[in-house]
Amino acid sequence: MKKRIAILGSTGSIGTQTLEVISQNPDYFEVEVLTANNNIELLIKQARQFQPNVVVISNSCHYDQLKEALKDEPIKIYAGREALHQVVEMETIDVVVTAMVGYSGLIPTCNAIKAGKHIALANKETMVVAGEIINRLAIEHKVNIYPVDSEHSAIFQCLVGEFNNEIEKIYLTASGGPFRGFSSEQLAAVTKADALKHPNWDMGAKITIDSASMMNKGFEVIEAKWLFGLKPEQIDVVVHPQSIVHSIVQFRDGSMKAQMGLPDMKLPIQYALSFPERLVSDFKRFSFFDYPKLTFEQPNTKKFRNLALAFEALNQGGNMPCILNAANEVVVQAFLSDKISFLQMPEIIEEIMSKASFIKTPDLDDYIQTDKEIRISTSAMVKKLAI
């Protein structure tokens, strides 16, 4: 039988590429649910093409337009955050692709797991904020979590057939972003337009900025801890500008396995949806002769402070990663709105982390309250420092 897929955030970068994978494999997958927040025109186009059972628009302001546009289609239409949180519980869903950006993916992911839905996880912030809770729920409800991030998919692929063998260390590779090798003076002058030009990957604005600041890699470090049951000292980051080696696992005997390929998110998306099978694809193939040199270097955590802050949050534990994430979401939006500079982002995050109320063993309500409070305090700090 075909796997019935719900895509949370179908109009974003991961969502649209997931639909490409589904359209290329109509014998294996069908779309059951599509959701979006504001991109109403693209959501309408997707709904007409893929004919899902249900469409949800989180921003209720767009409901009337969506309903009118799809009035001749046999599609159920809902609106609002509560509808988004509940739609993942539908009996007809087999896999939920969490392609939403940021903290907003936490509650629907929790609800999907409680409803017994397997998760194709692209929303790394869910694991950053509440990885311990997500893992506990997944075990309790016998749900599999398949990583979609290229780095975590690489680790997952390297571990297939190795589950009884102890991991000594993993290496998450990073492209270094558009500012690799920049001096502090150059970083102080970079603009939003500069930061949105990623050298290798085509991503949404928020993730692209996170990549430029290396916060995205910091989030991936925290996510890896929960996905693979690792200690902080077992996770390392290596800058690999070509983005061909997507990550590496080192085992206790010293042997290392790497997953390689051209930078194309459709490959890890397809693997997450089709596991344990590998489906035939027409993705462009890698040639060693096109990449005669693969290089690796250490990340500069003094210039790219966000990566160091992520490790600090991971080591401290509790609600500190939640604090890190909430502050980052606010400062990234402020940077994209031209209110603060590139280097002010880590400065604000670090100060917020130093002043925030720390909770050693938070529950879900603690995470929700922490997120709310940190957004308020970070927004106030941004307002004081606004350019």
Please give the share of the chain, as a percent, with pLDDT higher than 90: 90
pLDDT at 68 over 70: yes
| Cβ-Cβ contacts under 8 Å for 109 (sequence gap 6 or more) | 88, 96, 98, 119, 121, 123, 126, 134
Judgement on whether residues 37 and 53 belong to the same structural domain of the protein: yes
pLDDT digit string (tens) for 123-162? 999 999 999 999 999 999 999 999 999 999 999 999 999 9
Q: Examine residue 312 and state whether it is found in any structural domain, yes or no.
A: no
Q: Examine residue 289 and state whether it is found in any structural domain, yes or no.
A: yes
Confidence at residue 199, expressed as pLDDT on a 0 to 100 scale? 67
Q: What is the CATH number of the domain that holds 77?
A: 3.40.50.720
Name the range with the highest mean pLDDT among 176-190, 192-206, 239-253.
Answer: 239-253
pLDDT at 203 over 80: no
pLDDT at 239 over 90: yes
- Dihedral-angle region of residue 110 (phi above 0 means left; psi in -120 to 50 means alpha; beta otherwise): alpha
Judgement on whether residues 96 and 20 belong to the same structural domain of the protein: yes
Confidence at residue 166, expressed as pLDDT on a 0 to 100 scale? 94
78, two tokens: 């809902």
Judgement on whether residues 296 and 179 belong to the same structural domain of the protein: yes
Start-end of H helices in the chain: 13-24, 40-50, 63-69, 81-87, 106-114, 124-140, 150-159, 184-188, 192-195, 205-213, 215-228, 266-274, 305-316, 320-336, 344-355, 364-385
Q: How many whole angstroms separate alpha carbon 21 and alpha carbon 12?
A: 14
**By residue range, what is the domain housing residue 240?**
149-262+284-300
Domain end position, chosen among 91, 118, 143: 143
Domain end position, chosen among 143, 159, 193: 143
Number of domains in the chain: 3
Q: How many whole angstroms separate alpha carbon 72 and alpha carbon 86?
A: 25
pLDDT at 374 over 90: yes
Judgement on whether residues 241 and 345 belong to the same structural domain of the protein: no
Judgement on whether residues 15 and 102 belong to the same structural domain of the protein: yes
pLDDT digit string (tens) for 18-61? 999 999 999 999 999 999 999 999 999 999 999 999 999 999 99
Confidence at residue 200, expressed as pLDDT on a 0 to 100 scale? 64
Judgement on whether residues 247 and 135 belong to the same structural domain of the protein: no
Judgement on whether residues 85 and 193 belong to the same structural domain of the protein: no
Task: Tell me, yes or no, if the pTM score tops 0.85.
Answer: yes
DSSP 297: B
Judgement on whether residues 133 and 156 belong to the same structural domain of the protein: no
Judgement on whether residues 169 and 111 belong to the same structural domain of the protein: no
Query: Are 169 and 234 in contact, with CB atoms under 8 Å apart?
Result: yes
165, two tokens: 């063998």
Judgement on whether residues 321 and 387 belong to the same structural domain of the protein: yes
Q: Examine residue 279 and state whether it is found in any structural domain, yes or no.
A: no
Judgement on whether residues 295 and 186 belong to the same structural domain of the protein: yes
pLDDT at 201 over 80: no
Judgement on whether residues 38 and 118 belong to the same structural domain of the protein: yes
Question: Which residue type occupies 205?
Answer: A
Task: Count Cβ atoms below 10 Å from residue 362 Cβ, excluding itself.
Answer: 21
pLDDT digit string (tens) for 248-306? 999 999 999 999 999 999 999 999 999 999 999 999 999 999 999 999 999 999 999 99
Domain end position, chosen among 120, 143, 166: 143
